[in-house]
Amino acid sequence: MQELKEKISELSAMKSYPKELFFSGDTSLLKRKKVSIVGSRKPSKYSRDLTHQIASQLSKNGVCVVSGGAMGIDAIAHKAAGEANTISVLPCGIDIKYPAINKNLLCEIERQGLLISQFKKDFKATAWSFVVRNELVVALGDVLVVAEAELSSGSMRSIEFALKMGKEIYVLPHRVGESSGTNELLKQNKATAIYDVKEFASRYIDEDAKQEIKIDDFLEFCKSSPTYDEAQKKYPERVFEAELSGEIVIRNGLVLLI
């Protein structure tokens, strides 16, 4: 855990630039194009699936995904982007790894990606530190994606920050009666709906970083159209994740790249 001394231009949009910033990991991610993704801690399957697809596609385009390390949408966005292509902003000291349920994920992000916080070692998360965390998450991204949010949720504070900063806001289109917060944004023309994941992600490409993204051994393996059993035996966890994100499809017992 070290203090970040150099100024980060994106943070000039905040109400006041952080007095202190601490980090652990790869600070070169701060120089990438970045998209912030936030949302419900208990998202619907629809929101989970689309968030995974969006974060995965952005990562393939060389874009760094920023989120808050929380359960639900945050964790899905971090995992789908890949630990080496994501920044997690914490509401506590970097040494604490909060929430505990995401400890392994946060440790991997620290090892391969970047953890960043405005709080010193041993500082425990409080109600107000989540708000501080949310502002930093929004400020770091070029735009904000809100996957799912009710009007009474904490994600609405992130939306308020984005509006004050003049950040463009994107949301998933939800059915009437679901995700009341994002539906209200659409109603007021304060957000743009994402109807096509690849089309949305194509707006945000970092060509230099794209060349540096690690080759996915699993996807390389799938180019040979292995059987489902072969893929499951060699990459038991990745088969499900890749199918969920729309990277592969299983037909007639074979794993096929899309």
Question: CA angle, corner 134, sides to 128 and 139, nearest 5?
Answer: 135
pLDDT for the residue numbered 144:
98
pLDDT for the residue numbered 213:
57
pLDDT for the residue numbered 135:
96
- As a whole number of angstroms, the distance between CA 149 and CA 40 comes to 6
Q: State which amino acid sits at residue 201.
A: A
Q: State which amino acid sits at residue 230.
A: E
Query: Which residues on neighbouring strands pair with residue 248, listed in sequence order?
Result: 257
- Whether 37 and 6 map to the same domain: the answer is yes
- As a whole number of angstroms, the distance between CA 152 and CA 149 comes to 8
- Whether 94 and 121 map to the same domain: the answer is yes
- Whether 91 and 186 map to the same domain: the answer is yes
pLDDT for the residue numbered 247:
73
pLDDT for the residue numbered 245:
65
- Whether 162 and 231 map to the same domain: the answer is no
Tell whether the model's pLDDT for residue 5 goes beyond 70: no
Q: What is the pLDDT of residues 102-146, one digit of tens each?
A: 999 999 999 999 999 999 999 999 999 999 999 999 999 999 999
- Whether 194 and 242 map to the same domain: the answer is no
Report the domain count for the chain. 2
- Identify the domain containing residue 184 by its residue range: 2-211
pLDDT for the residue numbered 238:
84
- Whether 227 and 195 map to the same domain: the answer is no
pLDDT for the residue numbered 16:
85
- Whether 134 and 161 map to the same domain: the answer is yes
Question: Which residue among 194, 211, 228 closes a domain?
Answer: 211
- Whether 47 and 151 map to the same domain: the answer is yes
Phi/psi-derived region of residue 42, left when phi > 0, alpha when psi is between -120 and 50, beta in every other case: beta
Question: How large is the average pLDDT for residues 212-241?
Answer: 79
- Whether 111 and 137 map to the same domain: the answer is yes
- The candidate with the shortest Cα–Cα distance to 36, out of 63, 5, 67, 58, is 67
- Whether 40 and 102 map to the same domain: the answer is yes
Q: What is the pLDDT of residues 44-66, one digit of tens each?
A: 999 999 999 999 999 999 999 99
pLDDT for the residue numbered 112:
93
- As a whole number of angstroms, the distance between CA 208 and CA 188 comes to 37
- Whether 232 and 151 map to the same domain: the answer is no
- Whether 246 and 223 map to the same domain: the answer is yes
pLDDT for the residue numbered 103:
92
pLDDT for the residue numbered 52:
92
